[in-house]
Amino acid sequence: MSVAVLISGRGSNLQALLDAGLPITTVISNEAEAKGLETAAARGVATRIVEHRRFSSREAFDAALAGEIDRAAPQLIALAGFMRVLTPGFVARYKERLLNIHPSLLPAFPGLRTHERVLAAGAKVHGCSVHFVTAELDHGPIVIQAAVPVRSQDTAETLAARVLRQEHVIYPRAVRWFLEDRLVIEANRVRVKGNDAQLVFAAD
Ligand code: GRF
């Protein structure tokens, strides 16, 4: 069993996956300066850089990315703060083998700057979701979610930190379920064989 993790930056979710002892064999970044590359290298995990700027189209970048992934032959590809939109062809190639972590309670707040948007909307609950990746951005079948309160004194930073703590809880859980072959996608719904809880409530 092996997992390839795709990153663009900080890599705290990558770190959580590594800390959980998951079999991550390759980390690929589209940014040469991504801090997560250092984290991976420090653990002896192979790292690759595929800079999107060097490619003239999304298709060409995704083909190079797929080349690196296929060399590593992972069962699962986990997007962890990977800030590129993937082409439908790429998504189809790894159908039901691509997971992403998104910092909102999907289907609410897909896209960027979720914490700011949650505060601006006056929402009282926020959170994060691990979902299978489909061609529609941030819309694939949801594996697990964690909900956190939005507090009146929150800033985007304090809220992001509360959500991030839960990202680090639910992402390793989802990846483990996948590797244990416990995830069943039925229409747009994901069931976990053995009925583990797919929702976490966290106060802080
Ligand atoms: C996380 O909030 C993740 O949900 C989002 O991008 C951020 C990445 O953080 N997709 P890190 O690189 O894992 O620290």
Query: Mean pLDDT over residues 96-123, rounded?
Result: 98
% of the chain surpassing 90 pLDDT: 98
CB contact at 8 A, 166 and 148: yes
Flag whether pLDDT at 204 surpasses 90.
no
Measured in Å, residue 101 CA sits from the centre of ligand 1 at 7
Q: What's the CATH architecture for 1-94?
A: 3-Layer(aba) Sandwich (3.40)
Ligand 1 atom closest to 7 (CA): 12
pLDDT, mean over the chain: 97
Query: Which residues are the active-site residues?
Result: 102
Ligand 1 atom nearest the C-alpha of 35 is 12
All CATH 3.40.50.170 domain ranges in the chain, comma separated: 1-94, 101-204
Measured in angstroms, how far is the CA atom of residue 6 from the centroid of ligand 1? Answer: 11
Contact assessment for residue 28 and residue 4, using Cβ atoms and an 8 Å cutoff:
yes
In this structure, the residues whose C-beta lies within 6 A of any atom of ligand 1 are: 7, 9-13, 36, 80-81, 101-103, 128, 164, 167
What pLDDT is attached to residue 195?
Answer: 85
How confident is the model over 150-158, as a mean pLDDT? Answer: 98
Q: How confident is the model at residue 111 (pLDDT cuts 50, 70, 90)?
A: very high
Q: Which CATH superfamily is domain 101-204 in?
A: Formyl transferase, N-terminal domain (3.40.50.170)
pTM score of the predicted model: 0.97
pLDDT-based confidence at residue 19 (cuts at 50, 70, 90): very high
Alpha-carbon gap, residue 185 to 162, rounded angstroms: 29
Distance 185 CA to ligand 1 centre (A): 24
What proportion of the chain, given as a percentage, has pLDDT over 70? 100
pLDDT at 123: 98
The residue whose CA is least distant from atom 3 of ligand 1 is: 81
